[in-house]
Amino acid sequence: MARAALFDVDGTLVDTNHLHVVTWWEAFRQSGHDVPTHDIHRAIGLGSNDLIERLLGEDRDRDEDEDEKLTAAHTALYGTYFERLPPLEGARDLLRQLASRGWRIVLATSAGGPELKALRRAIDADDVIAGVASADDVSEGKPAPDPVHRALELAGAEPSEAVFVGDTVWDMEAARSADVRAIALLAGGIARADLEAAGAQAVYGDPAELLSHLDTSLFAQLESTD
């Protein structure tokens, strides 16, 4: 049975959450919606449709044309950063260290298409990434467990042999729903208490801190059961 290290990408391996906040804020502004950046930040990690619904109200009369316009505006604005997305400190080294210890690395992200390519280029660790469960592969995104289930399939692992690393409450809820151990990182800007309440079993500042504590982490605990 394979051991699987499952990773969210935005805010977990690449420092992009606040770029998403600013570009969503501008996309909403262009369509005449005044949405506070704090609220947008709390919604980052959801798929585009769920994010729009959460921020504009679940009980609104949904306008599919407007939603498509908002998503397209965000995509265009965020796309201007594709060539300079910054990896978080230690992200690449963390993935490679885990791979060297026998973990199969699979990404589970709401990104797809050119955005996913830009994120993978920023991480620069394709040589150890065994697969990607992207927005294009599942019918429902986080906090539903679908992305985690798909990542487990790609890794060839059972939930009991996996650890999921993310930075949002949506990541933690998805992992918990899939019965997968969850580690949270503070790099995405979400409070420790909120991450723990959503199911995080351990919390670190960023990939570099997790890497420095790898031998006492959930990863090492699972290794010791072999």
Q: Classify burial at 215, counting beta carbons within 10 Å of its beta carbon; exposed 0-12, middle 13-18, buried 19 or more.
A: exposed
Domain limits, the chain? 3-16+86-223, 17-80
CATH of domain 17-80: 1.10.150
Query: Which pLDDT value is given to residue 126?
Result: 97
pLDDT of amino acid 1: 61
**36-60 pLDDT per residue, tens:** 999 999 999 999 999 999 999 877 7
Residues ≥6 apart with Cβ < 8 Å to 26: 73, 77
Contacting residues for 116 by C-beta, under 8 A, at least 6 apart? 9, 109, 132, 134
31: amino acid identity, one letter: S
C-alpha distance across the termini of the chain, in Å: 10
The predicted pLDDT at position 72 comes to 97
Would you state the pLDDT for residue 135?
75
Q: What is the pTM of this model?
A: 0.96
Please give the helix or strand (H or E) that residue 90 lies within, else none. Answer: none
Q: Write the CA distances from 176 to 159, 165, 182, integer angstroms.
A: 10, 12, 7
Please give the single-letter amino acid code of residue 43: A
- Low-confidence residues in the chain, pLDDT < 70: 1, 226
Q: 3-16+86-223 in CATH: which number?
A: 3.40.50.1000
